[in-house]
Amino acid sequence: MPKTSDTADDRSEERRGGAGSVQSVDRAVSVLEILAKLGEAGVTEISEELGVHKSTAFRILGVLENRGLVEQERERGKYYLGAGVLRLAGAAAIRLDISQEGQPVCRALAEDTGETANIAVLDGDAAVNIMQARGSAAVTAYNWLGRRTPLHATASGKVLLAYLPAPRRETLVTRKLPRFTEQTLTTAAGLREQLTAALEDGFACTSEELEIGLNAVAAPVRAHDGAVIGAIGVSGPAYRMERQLLPELAERAAKAAADLSRRMGYPG
């Protein structure tokens, strides 16, 4: 493959963004694919595979190394995939596993309660629903799959937020909390109180905090090492999922969460 020129204009374009930035991302991904195929490779070999000058390959490798995605054997100068790739792959595997293992549990919870059951995982600063099942009494055809929902205004979100490491949790709690209804918690103090209750009770509830007329409960799903990797819950109309019934429904969600956690290898 002919080598492309590595000019100051190219580097300037990469700094400005646009097509140069897209090309840089493409090359970085290509480096990871090359190392996955070869196991290890030096700068010269990588530059030849990419069809770029060694200086370009070296810059790309430097960025990937800083992010832990590649590592270098110092004595021989060879590069290989780093622990960062394993971390990303592990997170993807967990999401795939919880989707697969969660299907029968989610369906069973929906059948047990008659309402809509969902499984959600953390996605940056929001919860994203990766599984949904509708019970016999579900009155809405609304599809929550793939929808990102706010952590502070949903039962699943509160569960995921409650079990985050304290520094990360506090960062999310103290930022501006958007109001969706009159019932939405918008103060850090109020949210902290509910998160403490979620940790003590083993579940979280919301009552018309995201949408008027919508109540929900959720409980944490754990991985084999005890880390909370998701939340399973039930949502339904407030006239049927009345406030006084939420603790009972939450206990059912907690039993489903324990079942799914066992499927994920958690011994507790």
pLDDT of residue 77 exceeding 60: yes
> How does pLDDT run across 239-268, given as a tens digit for each residue?
999 999 999 999 999 999 999 999 888 887
Alpha helices, DSSP H, located in the chain:
8-16, 19-38, 43-50, 54-66, 83-113, 155-162, 166-173, 188-201, 246-263
> How does pLDDT run across 196-234, given as a tens digit for each residue?
999 999 999 999 999 999 999 999 999 888 999 999 999
Torsion of CA 20, 21, 25, 26, to 10 degrees: -30
Task: Assess contact for 231 and 127: CB atoms under 8 A.
Answer: yes
Tokens 């206990």 found at: 251
Looking at the DSSP assignment, which residues form a beta bridge with residue 204? 218
Residue 182 in tokens: 């009159």
